[in-house]
């Protein structure tokens, strides 16, 4: 093999097996996929050690992909539960899973995850550093951070969030901005603390060439983390966020030159009227690299319902240029999500992604919606359930209050508008009294 990474192959005019598979999934030609991988506007995260992977493309002109976060913490250490979340996410069609475990030795869980998962796997090595090395943050060195990154790459992780844009210049801009919420990125806050305590530059920025060398060796996509993403509406679009984004744009070009694929991470919390402009700004500053957003959450006051606030922002973001949505569950800001939270988060994010695919006029995006419309026209309930994004819930709701007549639902009964119109167009009469047999003579 003359190439090490997908982008290197694309630059050489080579169509890899992964590119062909993505083309098939996306109703695109392999040549079109290859050309856009070469330009960096599409990434196919695919570590050479992840043999169970079914490759997916992320980028402009492709269906919006969704990511599911999970992993253990010091207060919730049930690996079996996390693996059940993995299985649920894959069964529900999530294209990506991020293991955000931040407690103890996580290697064994991650190995099982990579061996099992056809979905791409992402991690944040910074989260794992403390448990992996069993060192206090202040005692860590740049080599320590890089060693954890390399360990994840060798295990088969397809993409890694690396907060390389938080350099000394970005930190100074953050300090001047006087934020309401300061830093809400976990990895970003740890790096900020290390930089402030040691007086050193961000090791992932200072040794960026070494980072890229490790990633290229295993074909790991770098997901350049946004340490200064807004954690509340008031901090959106401020100098800290935009200043870091400018640094990320430069790091994006350096990665492409080193034959490493790139994702760029974005906000965060953001008012609805700022989202579209932020997506366009990111595309401009980061050279149309695929954009990965968490939400954005469009209000700060809905704990317990943040899967909804996130889906609203995600649909707007993805129809305005974002390519990859990180799910948010009802448990966001409150606790580690349980299985029901994960399910609700996935469904909400899939709705946002699908709505954006329709708005982006992707090939075949309306096919499932048209199937649903045709089934509703015929009052074919089984076909409706089959076309639903969550068939189990649709069927359960329908059957929870059974209608007297199978062809209607319990809300409208025989006054169903579709039933009425179908009867008239078929030359039949609509006679509620006679059919019910309880009208006054």
Write the pLDDT tens digit of every residue in 180-190: 999 999 999 99
Q: Is residue 353 domain-shared with residue 404, that is, in the same domain?
A: no
Please indicate, yes or no, if residue 18 is contained in any of the structural domains.
Answer: no
Q: Is residue 35 part of a domain?
A: no
Q: How high is the pLDDT of residue 406?
A: 75
| Assigned domain for 22 exists | no
Domain shared by 324 and 418, yes or no: no
CB contact set of 348 (below 8 Å; sequence gap of 6+): 307, 308, 310, 311, 327, 328
Q: Has 227 been labeled as part of a binding site?
A: yes
Residue 29 within a domain: no
Assigned domain for 27 exists:
no
pLDDT at res. 441 = 47
Q: Give, in degrees to the nearest 5, the angle at Cα 80 between 75 and 85.
A: 90
Displacement of CA 203 from its chain's centroid (Å): 26
Q: Residue 187 annotated as binding? A: yes
Report in angstroms the alpha-carbon separations of 248 from 162, 197, 222, 334. 11, 24, 11, 30
Same domain, 395 and 281: no
412 a known binding residue? yes
**pLDDT per position as a tens digit, 139-175:** 999 999 999 999 999 999 999 999 999 999 999 989 9
Say how far apart CA 215 and CA 43 lie, in whole Å: 14
pLDDT at 296: 97
Say whether 127 counts as a known binding-site residue.
yes
- 228 annotated to a ligand binding site: yes
Low-confidence residues in the chain, pLDDT < 70: 1, 74, 76, 104-105, 434-441
12 falls within a domain = no
Identify the pLDDT of residue 435: 61
Cβ burial of 162 (10 Å; 0-12, 13-18, 19+) is buried
Peptide bond into 417 cis (omega under 30): no
Considering the domain architecture, whether residues 329 and 414 belong to the same structural domain is answered as no
Do 179 and 306 fall within a single domain?
yes
CATH assignment of the domain containing 65: 3.20.20.540
Find the helix or strand (DSSP H, E) in which 224 lies.
strand 221-224
Q: Is there a binding annotation on residue 372?
A: no
337 and 395 share one domain: no
Same-domain status, 283 and 407: no
Same-domain pairing of 283 and 331: yes
Identify whether residues 397 and 353 lie together within a single domain. no
At 402 the pLDDT is 85
- Structural domain includes residue 28: no
Contact between residue 194 and residue 142 where contact means Cβ atoms under 8 Å apart: no
Q: Are residues 143 and 77 in the same domain?
A: yes
- Of 330, 359, 388, the last residue of a domain is 359
69 is in an annotated binding site: yes
Query: Are 249 and 398 part of one and the same domain?
Result: no
The answer to the question of whether 229 is labelled as a binding residue is: yes
Domains: count for the chain: 2
Can you give the residue range of the structural domain that contains 266? 48-359
186 is in an annotated binding site: yes
Residue 327 lies in a domain: yes
Q: How far apart are CA 407 and CA 413, in angstroms?
A: 9
Instruction: Choose the final residue of a domain: 359, 384, 403.
Output: 359
Domain identity same for 77 and 199 = yes
Strand, coil or helix: 56 = coil
**Residue 380's closest CA among 406, 355, 342?**
406
Instruction: Dump strand ranges (E) for 346-401.
Output: none
Considering 325, 359, 393, which residue would you say is the last residue of a domain?
A: 359
Q: Known binder of ligand: residue 286? A: no
pTM over 0.85: yes
Contacts with 247 (C-beta within 8 Å, 6 or more apart), sequence order: 165, 167, 169, 170, 205
Does the annotation place 177 within a ligand binding site?
no
């Amino acid at each position: 093999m003359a190439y090490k990474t997908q982008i290197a192959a694309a630059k050489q005019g080579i169509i890899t097996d992964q590119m062909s598979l993505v083309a098939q999934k996306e109703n695109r030609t392999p040549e079109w996929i290859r050309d856009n991988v070469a330009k960096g506007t599409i990434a196919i995260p695919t570590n050479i050690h992840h043999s169970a992977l079914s490759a997916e493309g992320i980028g402009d002109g492709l269906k919006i992909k969704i990511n599911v976060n999970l992993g253990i913490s010091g207060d919730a250490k049930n690996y079996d539960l996390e693996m059940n979340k993995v299985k649920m996410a894959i069964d529900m069609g999530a294209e990506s899973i991020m293991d955000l475990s931040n407690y103890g030795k996580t290697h064994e869980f991650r190995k099982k995850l990579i061996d099992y998962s056809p979905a791409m796997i992402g991690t944040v090595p910074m989260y794992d550093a403390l448990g992996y090395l069993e060192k206090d943050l202040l005692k860590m060195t740049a080599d320590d951070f890089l060693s954890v990154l390399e360990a994840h790459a060798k295990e088969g992780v397809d993409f890694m969030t690396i907060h390389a844009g938080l350099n000394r210049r970005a930190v100074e801009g953050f300090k001047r901005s006087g934020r309401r919420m300061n830093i809400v990125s976990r990895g970003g806050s740890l790096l900020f603390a290390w930089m402030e305590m040691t007086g050193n530059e961000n090791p992932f920025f200072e040794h960026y060439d070494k980072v890229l060398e490790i990633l290229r060796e295993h074909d790991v996509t770098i997901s350049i983390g946004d340490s200064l993403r807004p954690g509340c509406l008031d901090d959106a679009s401020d100098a800290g966020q935009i200043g870091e984004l400018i640094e990320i744009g430069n790091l994006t070009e350096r990665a492409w030159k080193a034959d490493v694929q790139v994702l760029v991470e974005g906000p965060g919390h953001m008012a609805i009227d700022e989202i579209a402009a932020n997506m366009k700004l990111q595309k401009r500053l980061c050279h149309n690299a695929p954009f990965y957003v968490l939400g954005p959450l469009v209000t700060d006051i809905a704990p317990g319902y943040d899967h909804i606030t996130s889906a609203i922002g995600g649909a707007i973001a993805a129809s305005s240029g974002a390519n990859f949505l990180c799910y948010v569950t009802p448990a966001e800001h409150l606790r580690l999500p349980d299985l029901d939270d994960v399910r609700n988060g996935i469904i909400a994010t899939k709705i946002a992604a699908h709505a954006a695919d329709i708005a982006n006029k992707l090939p075949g995006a309306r096919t499932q919606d048209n199937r649903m419309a045709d089934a509703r026209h015929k009052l074919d309930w089984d076909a409706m359930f089959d076309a639903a994004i969550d068939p189990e819930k649709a069927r359960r709701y329908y059957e929870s209050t059974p209608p007297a007549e199978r062809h209607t639902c319990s809300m409208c009964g025989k006054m169903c508008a579709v039933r009425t119109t179908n009867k008239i167009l078929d030359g039949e009469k609509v006679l509620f009294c006679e059919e019910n047999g309880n009208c006054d003579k």
